[in-house]
Amino acid sequence: MHLLSTKQIESSSQLENLFKLTEKVKRNGNLDFGKRILAIVKNEASTRTRVSFEVAMKMLGGDVVNIQLDNTTSLAKGETIEDTIRTIGEYVDAIVMRHSTKGMVQHCASHSPVPTINAGDGEGEHPTQALLDVYTIFKEIGRLDNLHVALVGDLKCSRTIHSLLHLLYLYPHNKFTFISPDSIKIPGEYLPEKHECLERTELSDTLKEIGMKVDVLYMTRFQKERYLRQEEVVGVVPSYYKLTQEDFDNLNPGCVVLHPLPRGEEIPIFFDSDPRAAYFRQVKNGMYVRMALLYNLFTKKDYFAKL
């Protein structure tokens, strides 16, 4: 069973099952599924996703091989990516794959003999990040409905947001404010069908208007590596957002500020000690949520199985 998109998740009860197991994993570090091997295959940079998957496997008794899809593999000899994935799948129990081209992980999964998890496909999706994001919101705020969520930055290329939105659409009465320059706004395919939403281009003005009502402020960096034409980057970067002290003063004291990281300049370091800054707690949650996903996969063949 592959995990390629959050669209595979159809009900909030699947998430509740995952959260319960995540709590158990946190309390009881000695869960173990024996010697399973995970391959982490990627052609892009990664810190949190790679390290948390690797540590999660090792904490559960498994092991990891890391494969960078560069000229140290037989791709350099002209081997196809399909044959490369098929080959890796003959040696391991599951594959975590990140690729810079949207749709490539899904394509490779169809050639993989073992379960394959999408760890980010270009500007497409990043489902395990979205799962740790909703887990973090649930832990911090205590609910996943009736939330006002503001999403800020590069909404066009932020795959974590594309995956997160679908999960938040599973819950009633959530409201969304999308804040981004026009040129990098949220693609129509990710807009809600049933939930209320606003689109804004000004960060500070919008926070003056709605900041006190926001429950979750989800920040993202500008994904400059995804904009191939230089003039596109030059046009966007100067208007990229940086939160200021005044913006924080206009922000609900009870909200949480999330960021998938890495950050650029959008969140100043001085904010890290504010209790609303939840992004490093979010990092830590990622390891536990991935442990729960892997445990379910290897013991029940279902990422969202009931405890």
Kindly state the DSSP code that residue 98 receives in the 8-state scheme. Answer: E
Contact yes or no for 179/200 (Cβ under 8 A) = yes
In the complex with ligand NCD, which residue's Cβ is closer, 159 or 290? Answer: 159
Give 181 or 260: the residue with its C-beta nearer to ligand NCD: 260
* Site for ligand NCD contains 261 (CB under 6 A): yes
Half-sphere exposure of 83 (CA within 13 A, CB side): 8
- Local structure of 176: helix, strand or coil: strand
Beta-sheet strand order (sheet of 148-152): 196-200, 175-179, 148-152, 216-219, 256-258
Q: Is 118 in the site for ligand NCD (CB under 6 A)?
A: no
Residue whose CB is less far from ligand NCD, 62 or 153? 153
Q: Which of 116, 160, 163, 174 binds ligand NCD (CB under 6 A)?
A: 160
Check residue 282 for interaction with ligand NCD (CB under 6 A).
no
Which of 155, 172, 281 has its CA nearest to residue 219? 155
120 interacts with ligand NCD by CB under 6 A:
yes
Min dist. Cβ of residue 47 to ligand NCD (A)? 8
242, two tokens = 């940086």
Q: In residues, how long is the chain?
A: 307
281 binds ligand NCD (CB under 6 A): no
Which of 260, 277, 279, 297 forms a contact with ligand NCD (CB under 6 A)? 260
Site of interaction with ligand NCD (CB under 6 A):
48-49, 120, 126, 129, 159-160, 221, 223, 260-261
